[in-house]
Amino acid sequence: MDVSQAIRYPDLVQLSSALASRVAGALRAALARRGRASLVVSGGKSPVKLFEALRSEALDWSHVLVTLADERWVDPTDAASNERLVREVLLKNAAAAAQFVGLKNDAPTPDLGAGPAWDRLAGAPRPFDVLLLGMGDDGHTASLFPKSPALRSAIDEAAPPGLIGMRAPTPPEARLSLNLSALLDSRDIVILVNGESKWRTYTQACQPGPVEDMPVRALLRQTRTPVDVVWSP
């Protein structure tokens, strides 16, 4: 992907408002097409304002399934939990009627929990209608981290779609993530980039280099599913 293809907004508030309208439009189209819709989101700080804007969008949320691109292997009540963030910020107002499918389960490790978590998603409308991703300063997306022991398997586009246990470089290290095949099983992928440091990371990811060094390259270089990058300083 060329750096110039990124869509720039003056600030995160305007980006979030525009992206919320876009996501809601895609979900409405999916509802009109098949009566159900699916939205896959990520955690972190960047999507908070987006969630705040999206949760009041007028659509039939009761027929929208919301799930996560990845999860930290902590209790859903933990402050680090992506599920907790989604429940506390996105699933409010009109969006409270959505069906939420979390990834964390009672398995002691993400590796053991991957199968049962994927089974939970068996009824999700696929391809996923919208996938919202972020990106870290190290070039990771979802929980596809550089140097994670399972990274090679996770970014194998020929692997069956599913979830895979991953390791982050900082606590909480244990993570569960959709693999590349599952991420690409989407109609529309948006990567949200906020701040100058992450913009520098994105521009680096657009340059030649191993995918293993910056796993977001696996999304940017594939041609199966459209990917838009939106950013604000």
Backbone angles phi, psi at 194, to 5 degrees: -130, 130
pLDDT tens for 121-161 read 999 999 999 999 999 999 999 999 999 999 999 999 999 99
Residue 166: give the domain boundaries.
Answer: 3-232
What pLDDT, on a 0 to 100 scale, did the predictor assign at position 92?
97
- Kindly report the pTM of this predicted structure: 0.96
Give the burial class of 99: count Cβ atoms within 10 A of its Cβ; 0-12 exposed, 13-18 middle, 19 or more buried.
Answer: middle
Segment 180-221, tens digit of pLDDT: 999 999 999 999 999 999 999 999 999 999 999 999 999 999
Per-residue burial over 126-154, b if 16 or more Cβ lie within 10 Å, else e, is eebbbbbbbbbebbbbbbbbbebebbeeb
Are the C-beta atoms of residues 41 and 75 closer than 8 Å to each other? Answer: no
Strand pairing partners for 67? Answer: 40, 101
DSSP-assigned letter for residue 123: G
Quote the pLDDT of residue 2. 73
Whether the ω angle into residue 127 lies within 30 degrees of 0, i.e. cis, is yes
For residue 221, the 8-state DSSP code is: H
CATH number at residue 30: 3.40.50.1360
Q: What does the alpha-carbon distance between residue 74 and residue 77 come to, in Å, rounded to a whole number? A: 8
Q: What is the pLDDT of residue 49?
A: 97
Q: State the total domains in the chain.
A: 1
pLDDT digits (tens, 9 = 90+) for 49-91: 999 999 999 999 999 999 999 999 999 999 999 999 999 999 9
Helix (H, G, I), strand (E, B) or coil at 188: coil
